[in-house]
């Protein structure tokens, strides 16, 4: 069972990656060497180095951040936008395509 994450880097490079249901967008990137996501804290919501901007369609699917994530988004290396999320907090659902853009810097 897989889902797909399409990562667009700040320089426009697109990487399409299959991911396992239940894994996060951060884990899928780190496991497969997708550039642009660091994930320093391993997904425990304490580093903000997994910052991504989600597409409109993906935002409609996953919604905005929870309270703690929202606080952490104030500490990202690149300024947050309305569509910012921490990608360790987005878990892949079955048969779903996610589109995210990674910021220029994570640290």
Q: Is residue 47 close enough to count as binding ligand FES by CB under 6 A?
A: yes
Q: 10 Å Cβ neighbour count for 82?
A: 7
CA atoms within 13 A on the CB side of 94: 1
Minimum CB–partner distance for residue 89 and ligand FES (Å): 7
Q: How far apart are CA 84 and CA 8, in angstroms?
A: 14
Q: Is residue 25 close enough to count as binding ligand FES by CB under 6 A?
A: no
Nearer to ligand FES, 40 or 70 (CB): 40
Q: Is residue 54 close enough to count as binding ligand FES by CB under 6 A?
A: no
Q: How far apart are CA 3 and CA 97, in angstroms?
A: 6
- What is the binding site for ligand FES (CB under 6 A)? 26, 39-41, 43, 45-50, 72, 86, 88
């Amino acid at each position: 069972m897989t889902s797909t994450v399409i990562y667009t880097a700040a320089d426009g490079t697109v990487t399409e990656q299959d991911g396992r249901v239940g894994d996060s967008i951060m884990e899928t990137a780190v496991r497969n060497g997708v550039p642009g996501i660091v994930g320093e804290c391993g997904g425990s919501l304490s580093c903000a180095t997994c910052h991504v901007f989600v597409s409109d369609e993906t935002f409609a699917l996953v919604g905005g951040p929870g309270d703690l994530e929202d606080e952490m988004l104030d500490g990202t290396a690149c300024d947050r936008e309305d569509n910012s999320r921490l990608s360790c907090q987005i878990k892949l659902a079955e048969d779903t395509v996610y589109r995210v853009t990674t910021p220029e810097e994570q640290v």
